[in-house]
Amino acid sequence: MDERLRSRTGWRQAAKRFLKGAVLAGYRVMTMILPVRSDVIVIESNLGRNAAGNPRYIYEEMVRRGLDQKYRIYYILDRPERVSLPGRAVKVKNFRLRFYYVMAVAGIWVSDTRFPNDIKKRKKTVYLQTWHGTPLKKLALDMEEIHMENEDSLEAYKESFRKNAATWDYLIAQSEFAAAIFRRAFAFQGRMLLCGYPRNDRLFAWNRPNEIARLRRKYKIPDGKKVMLYAPTWRDDDFFGNGRYRFATEMDFDAMKQAFAGEWVLLVKYHYLVEDTRDFGRWKGFVYRFGGDCDITELYLTADLLITDYSSVMFDYSLLGRPMFFYAYDLVYYRDTLRGFYFDFEKEAPGPISSTTQELICQICEYRPEEYRERAEAFAKRYHSAENGTASKTLVDLIERCMEERKRPGRTAGKEERSD
């Protein structure tokens, strides 16, 4: 690199570091001088990439109860202009001044991923961590290797995770199986709530023909077509840059179209970490792409079958009792090298596993549900035993209790004047 360019890059990095230090110092000052407010709630989904998943459905339950009028709710987003929300939540851009202010004064934080370790939680703030799926893939302290772009060493990653999870007051799970792993893999010491996932309440409430028809119209699915949903997970070692992953697949979309285009459409849903700009134009009218900013729950309801790989979508979709197919072209590498698994996937998967598109096509064409019924029942019992369609209610009750508790004399400074 040219000497001048190198020195300019060096200056830019130094300036960035200085600015970050100054902002964090400002955050610390705010946490020292401003009281925690019993009317402020901060919500974030998927690192701010979207407004989806568990936090979104907790928020929607708050709106349903009119609590968005009672509390000041701030939704943290990378691109607020791209997201629309019901109710009165204020959209706050990630890492801008207002973000630091609301983080500093909020009575409750709700998140399904992690806020940065630099943003220290105050003792009086309650942190409700929902996480974002039952694990098949090894997690956090249980991981034996690390391949993610922004992580230097496994030990540093684990230490950062341990520190972060030590600030969570509540964590939720879909089953005893997940709860036991979370306790160990996050070294979680707070209160575990076996209440199921708020995002899945809709799968109970809306699994009816009229709702499904409404959702099909919403997502512009042509009348008369059956729907397959392809929702794979991301690959730790296949990225463009920090937190931006490629859409990793070996699926032969030509072959899928040839086999199914008459009767079916294929919805391709990206994980929120995937930002691939791959052009699906060639399969127009057959493939419908949904980005990482979209919430998957409603797509589950429209789908007659699911194709996934090692993603936790399998646990949620299995609540619907519909066919599942596992297109696992890199199973051995993913399981033995990239991530590691918590259970014997080949033995327990509640549907056929394939390693090529041709194999997948045959399995879909020849699928007989009775062959997987027993496995599907065992899978449901083990991996989502706590789900009963009332998680949002349970958690919003909890949030209300925490906020009311905060107002009691002697506990905190109580509700403050609105200052922003």
Interface with ligand C2G (CB under 6 A): 53, 132-133, 135, 137, 139, 231-233, 269-271, 296, 311-313, 316
We find the least distance from the C-beta atom of residue 407 to ligand C2G, in angstroms, to be 34
Cβ neighbours of residue 323 under 8 Å, at least 6 residues apart?
304, 305, 306, 351, 367, 369, 372
CA 156 to chain centre: 23
Of the candidates 30, 20, 102, 68, the one whose C-alpha atom is nearest the C-alpha of residue 418 is 102
We find the least distance from the C-beta atom of residue 231 to ligand C2G, in angstroms, to be 4
Of the candidates 414, 305, 408, the one whose C-alpha atom is nearest the C-alpha of residue 350 is 305
Q: Whose Cβ is closer to ligand C2G: residue 53's or residue 351's?
A: 53
We find the least distance from the C-beta atom of residue 106 to ligand C2G, in angstroms, to be 24
Q: Whose Cβ is closer to ligand C2G: residue 312's or residue 354's?
A: 312
How far is it, in rounded angstroms, from Cα 352 to Cα 368?
A: 10
Per-position b or e across 215-251, b if 16+ CB within 10 A of its CB: bbeebebeeebebbbbbbbbbbbebeeeeebbbbbeb
Q: Whose Cβ is closer to ligand C2G: residue 48's or residue 107's?
A: 48
Of the candidates 167, 161, 160, 158, the one whose C-alpha atom is nearest the C-alpha of residue 190 is 167
At residue 51, what is the residue type? A
Q: Whose Cβ is closer to ligand C2G: residue 53's or residue 196's?
A: 53
The CA-atom distances, in angstroms, between 94 and each of 43, 128, 283 are 11, 19, 36
Q: Whose Cβ is closer to ligand C2G: residue 122's or residue 137's?
A: 137
Q: Whose Cβ is closer to ligand C2G: residue 121's or residue 137's?
A: 137
We find the least distance from the C-beta atom of residue 349 to ligand C2G, in angstroms, to be 15
We find the least distance from the C-beta atom of residue 311 to ligand C2G, in angstroms, to be 3
We find the least distance from the C-beta atom of residue 169 to ligand C2G, in angstroms, to be 19
Q: Whose Cβ is closer to ligand C2G: residue 125's or residue 130's?
A: 130
We find the least distance from the C-beta atom of residue 393 to ligand C2G, in angstroms, to be 20
- CA count, 13 A, side-chain hemisphere, 48: 20
How far is it, in rounded angstroms, from Cα 54 to Cα 172?
A: 10
